[in-house]
A and B are shown apart, each in its own frame.
Chain A
Amino acid sequence: SAVISQKPSRDICQRGTSLTIQCQVDSQVTMMFWYRQQPGQSLTLIATANQGSEATYESGFVIDKFPISRPNLTFSTLTVSNMSPEDSSIYLCSVERPNSYEQYFGPGTRLTVT
């Protein structure tokens, strides 16, 4: 499986500010995904990020709030904009192993908004 890193691993931010989370993979992948895990909850898909195309957002998530970049086949960023305490969550990126449909996850970014 691919080695996936995320930066930062955690952060504490003030409401109204923005945070950009980075996801780096050690091999080229087509499909990358961003998920949110609210405290004590399961994972919810935010968006799918394919290189060379606009990200596809799930219902309840919008580009203005969660802009995503996918500049190449090994890197993606998720920005959480104009944060409120309700955005306090773990944000995880995942990649799909080619030709397998298996997804492997990064270690997550724990975000606390005060």
Chain B
Amino acid sequence: AQTVTQSQPEMSVQEAETVTLSCTYDTSENNYYLFWYKQPPSRQMILVIRQEAYKQQNATENRFSVNFQKAAKSFSLKISDSQLGDTAMYFCAFLRYSGGGADGLTFGKGTHLIIQP
């Protein structure tokens, strides 16, 4: 079984600053993906970014980028030029896959990110 750990229950930064959310995971699997999801107060889960474990290059999506350290089993999310709309719970998630398909997601406990005006 795999576990996902987010050690920062809450973070607060000023608008326009850069913030990094931490995530570590534990697995013996070789075939997996990692994701960051955002859940604003509306409770809608929004996929922010994904990383294939077999890729060394870190994924980026506009202001969002990850630092994927496979050997250290670390997967942090960096948000640049933070905006008020980035205020939300952020969940790190792990997905195992095989030839028969994929499992469901295993989530961390989440980090509540507050962007201050």
Contact = CB atoms under 8 A, between A and B. Distances in A.
B90 to A, nearest CB: 11
Interface residues on A, range: 20 to 34
Interface residues on B, range: 20 to 34
Which secondary structure dominates chain A's binding surface? strand
Interface string B15-50: 000000000000000000101000000111101001
Contacts of A41: 109
Contacts of B95: 101, 103
22 contacts: A31-B101, A33-B104, A35-B104, A42-B91, A42-B110, A43-B45, A43-B105, A43-B107, A45-B104, A45-B106, A48-B103, A92-B45, A94-B105, A101-B102, A102-B50, A103-B35, A103-B104, A104-B47, A105-B44, A107-B44, A108-B45, A110-B43
Interface of A: 1, 30-31, 33, 35, 41-45, 48, 50, 58, 90, 92, 94, 96, 101-105, 107-108, 110
